[in-house]
């Protein structure tokens, strides 16, 4: 018995040019995703009442700017490392 909370951050890319690289940051509670940031969409999207509430707040706050920067700061350098290995 208990609760299951999970955050999954993924950098998705399919070619060396990294033009189509995508950052996805998902928040899951009890196996149900309730909010997600997708760099292609450019904002947080909520899937439950709680997720919509969080997405609206995070899209107006510093969280959005931080996540938009993560694509350049985290995903692209790590994708370069993966292709050079």
pLDDT band at 83 (very low <50, low <70, confident <90, very high): low
CA distance 60 to 58: 5
User: Which residues constitute the domain of residue 9?
Assistant: 5-84
Report pLDDT for 19: 74
CATH of the domain at 10: 3.10.320.10
Q: How far is CA 63 from CA 54, 60, 74, in A?
A: 11, 8, 15
The listed range with the strongest mean pLDDT (3-7, 20-24, 72-76) is 3-7
Q: What predicted TM-score, i.e. pTM, was given to this entire model? A: 0.83
User: How many domains does the chain divide into?
Assistant: 1
Task: Tell me the pLDDT tens digit for each residue of 34-81.
Answer: 999 999 999 999 999 999 999 999 999 999 999 999 888 888 887 777
């Amino acid at each position: 018995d208990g609760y299951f909370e999970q955050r999954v951050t993924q950098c998705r890319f399919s070619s060396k040019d990294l033009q189509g690289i995508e950052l996805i940051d998902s928040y899951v509670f009890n196996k149900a995703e309730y909010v997600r940031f997708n760099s292609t969409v450019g904002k947080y999207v909520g899937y439950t009442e709680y997720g919509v509430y969080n997405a609206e707040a995070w899209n107006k706050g510093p969280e959005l700017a931080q996540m938009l920067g993560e694509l350049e700061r985290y995903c692209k350098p790590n994708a370069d490392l993966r292709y050079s290995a």
